Structure 1
Amino acid sequence: MIAWELIDCAEIPGATEQLRLYRRDQEYSMRLGGTELMTSRVHGSEDALADLACDRVADRPDCRLLIGGLGMGYTLAAALRRLKGDARVLVAELVPAVIAWNRGVLAELAGRPLEDPRALVELSDVAALIRTRRQAFDAVLLDVDNGPEGSTRPRNNWLYTAAGL
């Protein structure tokens, strides 16, 4: 079996552990501590998240989406495949290295979605954008944690409450 190779590490604001990017042959993995957050081998949940949201809003003129978390770019790529040319997708990413990885070593995995003119990535906390620009979006897709709790940042827990919705 081919061993995983550590490619890079990044600090997550407000977290005690580093985000780590690994590669094994052509497969990539992002991990926080001992928990695998995502892998390039399996990304059906990211595609489904975008598909479910876009099913409801893709036909709206000038559709605006907010995606919380860039990850490996799969949610963004899936949304862009479903949206019209006048749509705009803002991705809020908290970790600068994740943006750099998606412009570099991970770019080909999801088909370089950051190069699509409809996509904009902003180095920011999605929670702050939700609080300040809630009415600016037709849909908000949360792809920031590994389930309905703040697994990457405890401060994200409020996103999964009635107040966060």
Structure 2
Amino acid sequence: MRPEPYDLPVTLDRRDGPHGEVVLRRRGGVHEIIVNGCFLMDTSDGRSERLLIDAAFAALGADGGRRRAGPPSLLIGGLGAGFSLAHAAARPGWGPITVVEREAAIVDWHRRGPLGEITAAALADPRSVILVTDLLTRLRDSDDRYDALCLDIDNGPDWTVSPDNDSLYTPAGLALCRARLTPGGVLAVWSAKPSAAFEDSLRNAGFNGVRTEEIQVARGVPDVVHLAVRPA
């Protein structure tokens, strides 16, 4: 259910986190997450977040994709409204699912707040683990490898709400992503608009199979998922 234009937002919670102010609002039947005064995401749809997961899973079975036996492991960067986690946990084909979310408030709104309507079953799934930490810190400090990285931490490589997230899309950030993937593993990055420059960055970072999948939205340019494969 999308909010009507005349629906006025109601603030449900406001917290100061390590990266600024995080606000949860309700507008009609839709919940919105606002970061430092900028709209980040809401619960009105979730199609592109689900595409993020499905596209990564499909790419694992494509030529040049993962060939290891057993269910693939998944790292989701950004809990957000929870559509990506809920969709992944609803698919039995995934193995361990790790979610990295740096805002403790967002995790709390899922565990004890209204966003639990989306993720309650996923959070109860024994495959799911939530880590409250910065994504780049996790990529840098952990030796764990994953068969898929599905990243949705901002509005995309060309339009970040939080300047702290810019470095994820740099050569150094993409090198960290590549290092945390198994051979043949898939990187999937959500974006609010297509970016030819980011496709070039992925190729320059040593990824194969770089492509972009689109999902149409009601107005404006389509949301997209950028896909890339670490060479096997």
Shorter-chain TM-score range: 0.7 to 0.9
- Distance 1:124-1:33 versus aligned 2 partners, 3 A rule: closer
Q: Distance in 1 between matches of 2:166 and 2:159?
A: 5
- TM-score, normalisation: structure 2: 0.63
Change (3 A) 1:149 1:12: farther
Report the Cα distance in structure 1 between the residues aligned to 2:91 and 2:54, rounded to whole angstroms. 7
Determine what percentage of the aligned residue pairs are the same residue: 34
Residue equivalent to 2:38: 35
Match of 1:159 in 2: 168
- Which 5+ residue runs of structure 2 have no aligned equivalent? 1-5, 175-232
Number of aligned residue pairs: give it: 162
Q: 2:110 pairs with 89, 99, 102, which one?
A: 102
Q: Secondary structure, in 3 states, of the residue corresponding to 1:11?
A: strand
Q: 1:153, 1:2 → 2: CA distance?
A: 27
**Residue pair 1:21, 1:30 contacting (<8 A) in 2 also:** yes
- Could you tell me which residue of structure 1 aligns to residue 59 of structure 2? 56
Paired residues of 1:54 and 1:79 also in contact (CA < 8 A): no
SS at match of 1:72: coil
Alpha-carbon distance in structure 2 between the residues aligned to 1:132 and 1:33: 27
Question: Relative to total residues, which structure has the larger strand share, 1 or 2?
Answer: 2
Give the structure 2 partner of residue 82 of structure 1.
91
Q: Distance in 2 between matches of 1:43 and 1:111?
A: 16
Contact residue 69 and residue 92 of structure 1 kept, 8 A: yes
- Deviation track 1:100-122 (CA, whole Å, cap 9, x = no partner) reads 10112111134532111111001
Normalising by structure 1, report the TM-score: 0.86
Deviation for aligned residue 1:13:
1.9
| 2:127 pairs with 1:139 | no
The one-letter amino acid paired with 1:155 is: D
**Alpha-carbon distance in 2 for matches of 1:134, 1:143:** 21
Partner of 1:91, secondary structure, is strand
Contact 1:144 1:152 (C-alpha < 8 Å) held by counterparts: no
Aligned to 1:117, what secondary structure does the other structure show?
coil
- Higher RCO structure (Cα 8 Å, ≥6 apart): 1
Q: 2:22·2:105 contact (CA, 8 Å) conserved in 1?
A: no
Counterpart in 1 of 2:138? 129
More deviation in 30-39 or 76-85? 76-85
**In structure 1, which of residues 65, 71, 83 is the aligned counterpart of residue 74 of structure 2?**
65
Give the match's secondary structure for 2:142: helix
SS in 2 for 1:19: strand
Once superposed, what is the RMSD of the aligned Cα atoms? 2.2
Paired residue type of 1:156: N
